[in-house]
Amino acid sequence: MDKLLIRGGKPLNGTVTISGAKNAALPELCAALLTEEPMVLDNVPRLQDVQTMIKLLRNMGAGVEWQGDSHRLQLNAGTVTSPEAPYELVKTMRASILALGPLLARFGEATVSLPGGCAIGSRPVDQHIKGLQAMGADIRVEHGYIIAKVNGRPNGKLQGARITTDMITVTGTENFLMAACLAEGETVLENAAQEPEVTDLAELLIKMGAKITGHGTSRIVIQGVERLHAPQEAHSIVPDRIEAGTFLCAVAAAGGDVALVGSRADHLDALIEKLREAGASINAINGQLRISMSTRPLAVGFRTSEYPAFPTDMQAQLMAVNCVASGMARISETIFENRFMHVNELVRLGAHIEVDGHMAVVSGVERLSGATVMATDLRASASLVIAGLCADGETVVDRIYHLDRGYEQMEAKLRGLGADIERISA
């Protein structure tokens, strides 16, 4: 099992290229199931979760091939023979639920394993089931599988419906969005997720012939069409705002001056505001973000919430900045109940953190001390890397398969910025 060895204390300087967004790539790979025509996605990150989704699509009979060593992916779902997502392929990835909507919409049936993934808390699929039932699907859960069929409907088609979820759900919004494109009539999604990845999926679907308005707001309206086709040109996946945010936090903690190529400042407003409060200088010029940090950061409190508020996927990374900041900060986590699992590992590095339920209080220290730590989930692993960049001596981050699920060649990108970091085998 691979680990990362980090020798801390070096500022970060130079230029880093931000990859395509994992959380946009996964639903957009599933969107290929909505058409028989071959299509091309560009700027696809080469990540473990993406590879898992590719295996899942291939298992259904779809053709999926990388174009050489590029980030361009050719997909052909015209050859799908089995609308099923088995447990063996999806047990490590919660995004497998995204196959449910498009399979049901195009084939009138789907069998999808209840998903696995990070142990950061409950992400119930009941909202997905309720929404698709409102569109006319018969759904039961048996032996760990969601078994769905469209019965008693003309041509086995889903029907348009008004769907209001009990809470904002990104994957739920994406599932309903894809399913509604081929449903009969109008579907209205109330309380919809507004994340950039949802908007990017909608833009892809529109290129495929879907009729969608309101994406990027809490109310999305979809007029069903008879069929979808491949986009005329390759669709380029939106940059990964969480990867970009992670590098911003790394510079804020370790110091330095870094330009992020291919990043979107307008997707990071809440984080940028907090990092500026911490003392960082951040500017957006010609599709690049540039951050410079020459002093010890100031501690900043924050509360996670749904987009466009502060993202839960950046909570651990900004906590790592607070660990070496001047002052004390309160952090409130409102999205996932188990998303403070990185705290004990940060404490092993010398951080001063107290947790009370959904609140963490961080008292910054001048220096952390290198130690062996263990990643518990994807974003926790990123926070440990950031902490290791600031720590005296050597830090070893174990179980970095979590990191590989969501960050493309992170250690290579950090090395390019001057970090002393390498991947080692156990």
Model confidence over 170-205: pLDDT tens digits?
A: 999 999 999 999 999 999 999 999 999 999 999 999
The reply, when asked if residue 127 is annotated as ligand binding, is: yes
Distance CA(424)–CA(426), nearest Å, equals: 7
Report the share of the chain in percent with pLDDT over 70. 96
Q: Report CA-CA distances (Å) from 99 to 136, 176, 317, 380.
A: 17, 11, 30, 27
Which has the closest alpha carbon to 107: 129, 130, 140, 85?
85
Q: How far is CA 423 from the centre of its chain?
A: 23
Domains of the chain and CATH, by start: 2-19+239-425 (3.65.10.10), 22-236 (3.65.10.10)
Residue 402 to residue 382: CA distance in whole angstroms: 9
pTM confidence score: 0.95
pLDDT digits (tens, 9 = 90+) for 196-238: 999 999 999 999 999 999 999 999 999 999 999 999 999 999 9
Contact 351, 391 (CB under 8 A): no
Instruction: Consult the annotation and say whether 379 binds a ligand.
Output: no
Q: Per-residue confidence at 117, pLDDT binned at 50, 70, 90?
A: very low
Catalytic amino acids? 118
Q: Is 242 annotated as a binding residue?
A: no
Strand segments (E) across 151-261: 162-164, 186-190, 211-213, 219-223, 235-236, 256-261
- Please state the φ and ψ torsions of residue 325, each to the nearest 5 degrees: -90, 165
126 is in an annotated binding site: yes
Burial group, residue 408, by CB count within 10 angstroms (0-12, 13-18, 19+): buried
Q: What is the mean pLDDT of residues 303-323?
A: 96
